[in-house]
Amino acid sequence: MVPDPKKPPKPEVGFPSLSWEEEELATRPMPLHERPLQARVDVEMALIAQYHVRIALAVESFWGHRDCVDYLQGLVLSGYKEGEKRMGFKPEVLTALMTLVELHKQQFGK
């Protein structure tokens, strides 16, 4: 079927094109690994604070100190202890703690 030149073309329906245009690159979401280090730390700390405020405050006070990695690793290995009850961590909190270990090593060495 030959399109009628007098009629305007119909807009495309369905999924958008997978090709990237230069003007679209400026508005694409930034991948997590490209975010500034402090922004990544802030995201992980906010997640931890959502479930465990005291731990978030402790990590915040330890951040930058050489014992911070040991503290975080101790939490990961032993689980959260309030009194003597072992509670464990939600998977997203555990991931945030392990991510903070790596971010601390990147920023401070250990």
For 39-84, write each residue's pLDDT tens digit.
899 999 999 999 999 999 999 999 999 899 999 999 998 865 555 5
Distance CA 27, CA 20 (A): 11
Q: Within a domain: residue 75?
A: yes
Q: What is the structure's pLDDT at 6?
A: 77
CA 93 to chain centre: 11
**Is pLDDT at 19 greater than 90 in this prediction?**
no
Q: Total structural domains in the chain?
A: 1
Whole-prediction pTM: 0.66
High-pLDDT (> 90) share of the chain, %: 48
The answer as to whether 94 is a domain residue is yes
Is residue 83 a part of any domain in this protein? yes
Asked if residue 100 belongs to a domain, the reply is yes
State which residues form the domain around 62. Answer: 35-108
- Within a domain: 26: no
Would you say 100 and 34 are in contact if contact means Cβ atoms under 8 Å apart? no
pLDDT of residue 49: 97
Report helix, strand or coil for 38. Answer: helix
Q: How far apart are CA 70 and CA 97, in angstroms?
A: 11
Q: What is the pLDDT of residue 21?
A: 63
Whole-angstrom Cα distance, residue 47 to residue 106?
Answer: 20
